[in-house]
Amino acid sequence: MTTSHYIAGRWVEGQGSDCISVNDPALGQPFAELMAASVAQVDQAVTAARGALPAWKNTSASERAAYLRGFAEQLGQRREALITLQMRNNGKPRHEAEIDLDDAIATFGYYAELAEQLPSKNRDVPLAAPGFSARTRLEPVGVVGLIVPWNFPLVTSAWKLAPALAAGCTVVLKPSEVTPLIEQAYGQIADALGLPAGVLNIVNGKAETGAALSNHNGLDKLSFTGSNSVGSQVMRSASAQCRPVTLELGGKSAIVVFDDCDVGQAVEWIVAGITWNAGQMCSATSRLLVQDGIADALLPRLQAALEQLRVGNPLTEEVDMGPLTSQAQWLKVAGYFATAREEGLQRLAGGKALDRDGWFVSPTLYADVPKDSRLWTEEIFGPVLCARRFATEEQAIAEANDSRFGLVATVCSADPERAERVADALEVGHVWINSVQAVFVETSWGGTKGSGIGRELGPWGLSAYQSVKHVTRCLG
């Protein structure tokens, strides 16, 4: 694959020094490769976005909405190919890949509706002072760089791309080098829809490409989803230009189970929170806080449920969980298994790499994990669950909040008032009550503390790509 970059409405060959190998994690083997974009090509992409901005931001709201609906329709028309690619490059089971695609389609549809409502966002502002009047004008922030991760390609890019286009911004999208293929669908759709050249640009590459984009002085905003270590570099790049950033970073989230819960339901919610996408989620609820009164009944049931999960190649087997997406992530998780052995943690399930081709690990559960354990405090990004017991509601809240992260949490309780009270007390951006991690485009996404800056999805996602201007006039 040579024409892997979409710049100024044309597919072009990569001119960078890095060759990107695209792997099937279930086999541990490459199935495609492409050349990265050069620094010069990143500059060309930003220049194209800058050139397209004046006309695009002045298109009507209904015209931008029509393009967004076109993206949703075209994604649906490519359904089977995109699902298969998500399974092959990410290792996702089919049901997860289907949900990813449906999420992306819903995101474009939702922001098409918000785009049509934009004219109503301009409004007069009443002033207390006589002799003056004022109005608010919402404008696109400008040219934005979008850097997206490998764990939810297609989805995370939709969360950024759809509101940015709806707001009237032009964009340069940089996919992860681990999963660079599926986002090319957006360039193909732009061609099919006749999206004006330069409105959407896609450059693939590794760290050099990402740095060239985040350091480029032609951007007005950066939006990044990924690790805290890279996020801090992106923030430093933005600080040199004093430009805004949206950062969706890591998590070490808690799931709190009170002793009035139905054990079977609690097990279902816990398993989903740690094994969806093989635990490769910033929102994975990897810290289990279980109340004393239910712990002895729940932990054996949870152990059995994890051991019964079918782990395998989603393209050839009926599976509940696929492989880790990259060898680097497989080695990282294996390193935490070694750390658990060194710390003498009590292993109830898993704790090992599977003896088969590909980058597979077993769903893992450790019990009575000390609060100072690396496995309790650090984001692992794999299907590794650590459990601790608590006695009181106050203790559960304190231990759940005792983290440098604050992305999400789950509360499981048959007492609605207690569940709502605990949800309000948790220092996170999103809380589920008695539920799997259902994410809806109408709700916000983002965290507190070290989990990032800003919000995506919902009207907040659109606001992230808008600038507020006030116009004040003297009436005298």
**94 closest CA partner among 319, 279, 360:** 319
pTM of the full structure: 0.96
> Comparing 3-7, 40-44, 96-100, 368-372, which segment has the lowest mean pLDDT?
3-7
The owner of tokens 């608590």 is 390
Mean pLDDT along residues 213-225: 97
Type and span of the H or E element at 274: helix 263-275
User: Torsion-angle region of residue 51: left (phi > 0), alpha (psi -120 to 50) or beta?
Assistant: alpha
> What's the CA gap between 202 and 173, in Å, rounded?
5
Domain 5-249+451-474 indexed as CATH 3.40.605.10:
yes
Q: Could you tell me what percent of the chain has a pLDDT over 70?
A: 99
| 204, 20 Cβ separation under 8 angstroms | yes
Residue 4: its pLDDT value, please? 87
Residues of the chain with CATH 3.40.605.10: 5-249+451-474
Provide the pLDDT confidence category of residue 120 given band limits of 50, 70 and 90. confident
pLDDT in tens, 408-456: 999 999 999 999 999 999 999 999 999 999 999 999 999 999 999 999 9
Active site residue 386: no
Active site residue 248: yes
Residue 102: its pLDDT value, please? 98
- Dihedral sign for Cα 448, 449, 453, 456, please: negative
Total number of residues shown for the chain: 476
Provide the pLDDT confidence category of residue 119 given band limits of 50, 70 and 90. confident
> What's the CA gap between 50 and 142, in Å, rounded?
8
pLDDT in tens, 150-197: 999 999 999 999 999 999 999 999 999 999 999 999 999 999 999 999
Mean pLDDT along residues 371-389: 98
H helix intervals, 369-415 = 374-377, 393-401
Q: Which of 177, 183, 261, 282 is catalytic?
A: 282
Domain 254-440 indexed as CATH 3.60.70.12:
no
Q: Which of 183, 248, 379, 456 is catalytic?
A: 248
